Amino acid sequence: MARIVGGLCTSHVPLLGRVIDSGRTGEPYWQPIFEGYEPTREWLKSVNPDVLIVIYNDHANGFNFKYTPTFAIGCANEFNPADEGNGPRPVPIVQGHSRLAWHMTESLVHDQFDMTIMNEMDVDHGLTVPLSLVCGQPAAWPFRVIPICVNVIQYPQPSAQRCYALGKAIRRAVESFDEDLNVVIAGTGGMSHQIHGARSGLINQTFDNYFLDKLVTSPEELAGIPLVEYVREVGAEGMEIIMWLTMRGALDDRVDVMHRFYHVPAMNTAVGNLVLENAKAQ
């Protein structure tokens, strides 16, 4: 049967994609960020997943405001990088795993999650930047990808509790699949930032590190925080971190931290990265 062998969380700052694409990762301002991801890249190579499930949000590129699903799952065999105004990023086409995605969709719907089925979908920096951060610049991504898009940009958004419960349902779906697959799940977005209004440039290092601590030890505590509190603490855009709870819900109650990285600033954003595995038996 398929199994989730670990999870990772990462920010998906669009400017980091541009820095990678333009070959500027060695510049003094950016080098500490990309060095901070090196242990994650090595961990991902070591677990060698067949499939990466990516929990991300679209930024009005693959979708538009005519149609905003709360939860959407990509069931296609491939997904093109979205044109975000300057042409698509020069990254490989994302290869899907249609059979597992369809199985997950059926399982999730029967588990009371009304998924929007996407048989065609472009994926923007919310998904492609995390892939670049954890894989570098390969000719092809080294695993298949199942994108799950969460609406965290247009009111009403799902609660943190709902995102956490989605992770538990994803695990049940994966573990009921009849193919021997190693699966990693990634939560993306955040950390604290706001890109508009009077609080533009907001970074809350205290809450960011509290979130990283509790994501390991007490995810239920984070799941119980109202969305308005997330917006207050980490910004209107920073509340994307509720998607990290989907990753955490797919793992055991006890986890081992394989890598933790936090850096400020990257432009006007805090950058976080966390890698978790289910705790080894003592």
Q: Catalytic residue positions?
A: 125, 193
Q: How far is CA 38 from CA 33, 45, 267, in A?
A: 9, 11, 20
Strand (E) positions, the chain? 3-10, 51-56, 71-74, 78-79, 94-95, 116-118, 144-150, 182-188, 255-266, 269-278
Q: In the structure encoding, which two tokens stand for residue 194, read together?
A: 């706001």
> Could you say which DSSP state residue 241 is in?
G
For residue 188, the SS3 value is: strand
Q: In the structure encoding, which two tokens stand for residue 245, read together?
A: 């709870």
Backbone angles phi, psi at 62, to 5 degrees: -75, -30
Which residue do the tokens 């989605």 mark? Answer: 166
Count the neighbouring beta carbons within 10 Å of the beta carbon of residue 87. Answer: 9
